[in-house]
Amino acid sequence: MNEKIKVLVVDDSLFFRGVLTKKLAEFDHIEVLGYARDAFEAKEKIPQLKPDVVTLDVEMPKINGIEFLKQLLPERPIPVVLVSALNISVFDALAAGAVEFVKKPELSKSDTISAFIEELAAKITIASRAKVTPITGTSKISATAKPSFAPINSSRLVNTTVIALGASTGGTEATISVIKDLPEDTPSILIVQHMPPGFTKMYAERLNRICKMEVREAVDGDIVKNGLVLIAPGDFHMKLAKLGSNYVVKCFQADKVSGHRPSVDVLFNSVAEVAKKNAVGIIMTGMGRDGAQGLLNMRQQGAYTIGQNKESCVVYGMPMVAKNIGAVMIEASNENIPLVLRRHLATL
């Protein structure tokens, strides 16, 4: 029998500390070692208790979660799952080295709290298998040298070439490293990142400030065009469709696919059907198999397919499954994927 995942809860809210410590302890595979009321208490308890995973509220008194992560992870690279309200600082905490996050529920809804605990337990399981890389400096992405891209005939690729990218755990930062320096003439990129409602819009706005391409949360009917990155909205599937001479995206709610909504498989399967050989598929870090079959369908229709390599993944799950079933044509680190992508586009 596998050993239990040992968890330390860090939260300044008496209510949430109580809920988390009580409810997480009900899972057979989780052992709650205790709690800390703030970062100072957590720094004292972590060396003593040696948890496998820490759950962390981002907004805390004295030292916030982001500063805590910057101090903790270089000394002890422990997987951290953020437990936060809808707040842009979540992405700063992910940039500082946290591997997952869960949105805090509305306290008045017991069914919402139950779903929240189920999701948190699942994220703790994923985090326990994650590779944590301590971050030095202010950001994971700031030290990356700007690549020199091969020129492409962008006018020839307008409305013909589509890039589809799927990611989960560790994907928020890995995706930034892929797209942040891509030139404005890059064909449209459609992204599914497993993320709850509200956060996808903030994530798109964050990327739009960083990237040369325009980035925004997708809206049903958006036209796909060069220089535009569209991110699937949380709790909505996104697929590619054809409308006259244009590609468009359709955003819709339906049953979860591969355990997710949005699902990478939904996007990849639609791109395989609609764009066929005029497409590139990129599957990145994440737990499970979402996107693997869709990427195989893309490759079988003539698309060029890229998988993030094991060494650079926080969780080598989705790319591994895709590779094992023959969906991946080439593997590369998240930092090298932009070069691989542009070299391929230059051959079209």
Query: What positions carry a catalytic annotation?
Result: 168, 194, 290
| Cα separations in angstroms, 242 against 222, 249, 297 | 11, 8, 18
- Using CB atoms within 10 Å of the CB of residue 331, give its burial: 0 to 12 exposed, 13 to 18 middle, 19+ buried: buried
**Alpha-carbon torsion (335, 338, 344, 347), positive or negative:** negative
The residue count of the chain comes to 348
Structure token pair of residue 283: 């599957």
Please compute Rg for the chain using Cα positions. Answer: 20
Cα-based distances in Å from 164 to 104, 144, 155, 273: 30, 23, 19, 13
Per the CB < 8 A criterion, the answer to whether 232 and 218 are in contact is yes
In whole angstroms, give the CA distance from residue 249 to residue 26: 42
Q: Which helix (H) or strand (E) holds 340?
A: helix 337-346
Quickly list H helices, 25-136.
39-49, 65-72, 89-95, 110-128
Type of residue found at 190: L
Tell the residue number behind the tokens 């996104």, with chain if given. 238
Cis peptide before 338 (omega within 30 of 0): no
β partners of residue 289: none
Residues 6+ apart with CB under 8 A from 18: none
Q: What is the torsional sign of CA 323, 329, 330, 335?
A: negative
Interhelix angle 199-210/171-179, nearest 10 degrees: 30
